[in-house]
Amino acid sequence: MSDPQHVRPLAESVSTDVPARVRPPGELAQYTNYAAALTGQLIADVSGQQFDSFVTENVFAPLGMSHSTFQAAPSGLVPADGTAVDDVVSFYSDVSPASGLHTTAADMARLLQAHLNDGVVDGERILSESAVDTMHQQWFTPHERIDGMAFGLFERTRGDTRIIRHGGGVPQFATEFALLPEEDVGLFVVAHGSEASAAKQEVADALLERYAPVDSSGQRRSPDGTPERAGELAGRYRSVNATDTVSSEKLVFGLVTGRPIDVRVADDGRLITEQGDGRDEWVEVEPLVFEHIEEDSTLVFRETDGEVTHLLDGLSAYEQIGYHERLSVQGRVAAAVTVLGLTGLVGWPVARGWRRYRGGDSPPPSATRARWVAGAGVAGLLLFVLTFFAVSVAVASMGRPTLFDRPPAWFEVVFVVPTLGVIATTGAVAYAVRAWVRGDWSIATRVHYSAVVVAATVLYWLLQYWNLLWVRMG
């Protein structure tokens, strides 16, 4: 969030915004700040101290990290270039163990030394050797051929070198913390500015090329034939950050982050993946396991109950989605049914006024009642979208956390509108069925009315799909 006055105590944050469990532990990796935040609060509960105080006393002080803190808005913080902190820091975290560390490169160098020297810094033991070994060992991997997770660190194999790392980023800042234990090398890179992420990665890649070079002179792998179960692999896969989310955050992840991966099988048996502007080619080395034709990377497909359901690109998991779940398809459908719905919401009153002006016959009373009910369903959709947008803009203009970060308590009232709209649309469906069964109204009237009802039903389904129909903001 952009204003430190809205930072909540850690205990409040982890007890208020508890993510739902969507699958058994250990099945797939899904990154979440909540895990780190909850760990920090457990430390506070066991120690009887605030998390930032405990870490300062037991980690930073022994390591000599005198310029590091987890305080939400530390005083006296000055960037290396002398820029005023208020001109640089535009993000404050209320889950500080996950994204609230303020530090310096010199301090992080001391933490790197502790990791690389078996817990010893400046000749003094800070961590036990067994503790460092435990932090560095692999604790999870979704497949034996895929790099996994150490303790809070991600594995990355580069050639013959094992790297354990953790990157991070907030608005205007990006960092990379990486260890090459076998090479006795560590690196910490931080960049700030609008291109921070790209700048950080460029420097990190250059350093890794120096200390963990990769032989790129190898031959291209060629497929031995068509992949096993090739017909089940093709399709679009969306990040489980979106598909496994039961709150309205699904909309954020689906629209903004985690670009989907399109998969197809070429005539010669190569597996082709396309993500954004990137295109990669793979060959099958064992059933559902693919190696990149040039690079040292692995792609694995996972099956559930005999059906291919997920694609694993390292620790990033993607779930196969149906054609109707694609954003492009839903966008076109939404546009079409919105226009169709408006022909009822707007067209019926206009037609009624025109008939009165011309002195024509009024529609049957049953048709008038049915149109009022269907119109209420369509109006509920329009009112909800406008209200949701207006409230989002208003909350953002007040400098508050966004609706998806922390909706105000009264925001639940907004969801009364689509709930009433669903009830009205259900009634409209009943009117349409009755009209067809009884042969009420003219054929044209029945067809148009049914089309408007179908349009409203589809739009409410889209709200339900993106978890926007009911109050599930947390």
Contact 159, 213 (CB under 8 A): yes
Lowest mean pLDDT among 17-21, 255-259, 410-414: 255-259
> What's the mean pLDDT in 91-112?
89
Look at residue 1 and tell me whether its pLDDT is greater than 80: no
Lowest mean pLDDT among 24-38, 90-104, 149-163, 213-227: 213-227
| C-alpha dist (Å) from residue 285 to 143, 158, 222, 293, 315 | 14, 19, 10, 11, 19
Query: What is the pLDDT at residue 345?
Result: 93
Provide the β-strand partners of residue 301. 311
Over the chain, what HEC string results? CCCHHHCCCHHHHHHHCCCCCCCCCCCCCCCCHHHHHHHHHHHHHHHCCCHHHHHHHHHHHHHCCCCCECCCCCCCCCCCCCCCHHHCCCCCCCCHHHHCCECCHHHHHHHHHHHHCCCEECCEECCCHHHHHHHHCCCECCCCCCCCECCCCEEEEECCEEEEEEEEEECCEEEEEEEEHHHCEEEEEEEECCCHHHHHHHHHHHHHHHHCCCCCCCCCCCCCCCCCCHHHHCEEEEEHHHHCCCCCHHHHHHHCCCCCEEEEECCCCCEEEEECCEEEEEEEEECCEEEECCCCCEEEEEEECCEEEEEEECCEEEEEECHHHCHHHHHHHHHHHHHHHHHHHCHHHHHHHHHHHHCCCCCCHHHHHHHHHHHHHHHHHHHHHHHHHHHHHHHHHCCCCCCCCCCCHHHHHHHHHHHHHHHHHHHHHHHHHHHHHHCCCCHHHHHHHHHHHHHHHHHHHHHHHCCCCCCCCC
Domains observed in the chain? 4-211 (3.40.710.10), 230-321 (2.40.128), 327-465 (no CATH)
Q: Which of 219-223, 225-229, 461-465 has the highest mean pLDDT?
A: 461-465
Query: What is the pLDDT at residue 82?
Result: 47
| C-alpha dist (Å) from residue 379 to 127, 312, 382, 391 | 63, 42, 5, 18
Give CA–CA dist 238/259, Å, rounded.
7
Instruction: Write out pLDDT tens, residues 253-297.
Output: 777 766 899 999 999 999 999 998 899 999 999 999 999 998 888
Instruction: Write out pLDDT tens, residues 114-145.
Output: 999 999 999 889 889 999 999 999 999 999 99
Look at residue 395 and tell me whether its pLDDT is greater than 80: no
